[in-house]
Amino acid sequence: MGPSTLWIHRSARSWRIIHSSTRDDLDDSAEVHAPVPVDRTQMTREDPSEEADSLRFSFQKIKDREIVLTPALADRAVVIRPDSPLYVLAGEDITLFASTPVWIRIEAGSPSRLLTEIPSHRPSDTWFGPNAQEGDLCYAVKTAGRLRLERLPFRLHRAVTPVLIRNHASDALLLERIQIPVPYLSLYQGKDNYLWTQSVTLERGSDGDVAAVRLDHAPPAEAGATERLSGPRLHLRTNVILRTFTSIFSR
C-alpha cells in the first residue's frame, strides 16, 4: 500500500506483522496477496537488505482468523505549503487541496481490538509555531497544496483535504505554511476509491490577527458519492482556538 509493504502471519497463538517501507512518498502501488505461500514469507523475513520492523501480538481468546485493515488519518496536525508562496488579497477566498498520508489500522478479533497502527509513509517531523519556544510538533508533507484539484497527484494511500482560506482583513495575506488540524477530521471514501476528508475553513478576521477554524460536517462535493470510514481522533470544542492561523501570518 503506497510505499509500505506489510506481511501478516498468523500462528496458533499470535499474529506477526512485518512492515517495511521504501520511504518514497510517491510510490503508488496497491496490491493484496492473500494467502501468501509459506516459503515466500520465510524468504522475506530472512532477507537482510530489507529494513523491516516486526511486531508480534499474542492472545488466547481470539478465535477467528480474520484480520481487518482500515485506513485512518494522521495522529498529529499536518503542515502543508502551497506550491509557491502566494498572497490572498483582501476580501478574497481561495481553496487549496492538500493530500496527507494515511495510517493503516490493523485490528483482529470480535469485538475487534486494535493491534497496531502503521503509517503508510512516515512523514518528516516539523515545528509549527511563532518561535522556537512555543508551538506544536507536526508532520510536514512534501506534496504541495494545489489550487486546482486536477493538479493534485491522486494516490491511493493519501487523503485529500480541501482547505478554504478567507481573508476578511483589509490587507493581503501571505500564505507560506498552513497547519491542517488532521486529528479533528473524519475520513471518507469517495469515488474511484480515493480517500477524502471534510473541508477545513480558515478565516482571518477583519482585525487581521486571530481567525476562526471551521470544519465542515459533510465530505466535500468533489469527492462524489462517499462512505464514512472513520471519525476524528480528537473532538473540536467550539471555543478552542487552534494555532493554525497565528503562524500563517508570522514567519
Partner 1 sequence: MENLLTSASELVTLERLLSIGSALLKVVIGIILAKLVSRGLGRFFTSQGTTHQAVLVQRIAFYLIAGIFIASALVSLGFDISVLLGAAGILTVAIGFASQTSASNVISGLFLLGERPFAVGDTVRIGTTTGIILSVDLLSVKLRTFDNLFVRVPNESIIKSEITNLTRFPIRRFDILMGVAYKEDLDVVRSVLMETADRNPLCLEEPRPLFIYQGFGDSGLNFQFSVWAKSERFLEMRNTIQIEIKRAFDEANIEIPFPHRALYTSSVTEPFPIRIVTDGPRAEAA
Residue with grid cell 497565528, as numbered in its chain: 246
CB nearer to partner 1: pick between 99 and 198: 99
Please report how close the Cβ of residue 137 comes to partner 1 at its closest, in angstroms: 6
CB nearer to partner 1: pick between 78 and 223: 78
Tell me which amino acid residue 160 is. V
Convert residues 89-128 into a mask of x (bound to partner 1 by CB under 8 A) and - (unbound): ---------------------------------xxxxxxx
Interface size with partner 1, residues (CB under 8 A):
16
Please report how close the Cβ of residue 80 comes to partner 1 at its closest, in angstroms: 11
Tell me which amino acid residue 146 is. R
Site for partner 1 in 4-23 (CB under 8 A): 23
Q: Tell me the β-bridge partners of 103.
A: 72, 119
CB nearer to partner 1: pick between 52 and 212: 52
Query: Which residues, 6+ apart, have CB-to-CB distance to 101 below 8 Å?
Result: 2, 25, 74, 119, 120, 121, 123, 141, 157, 158
| Residue 82 binds partner 1 (CB under 8 A) | no
Site for partner 1 in 157-216 (CB under 8 A): 177
Read off the C-alpha cell for 243. Answer: 494555532
Binding residues vs partner 1 (CB under 8 A): 23, 79, 122-128, 132-135, 137, 140, 177
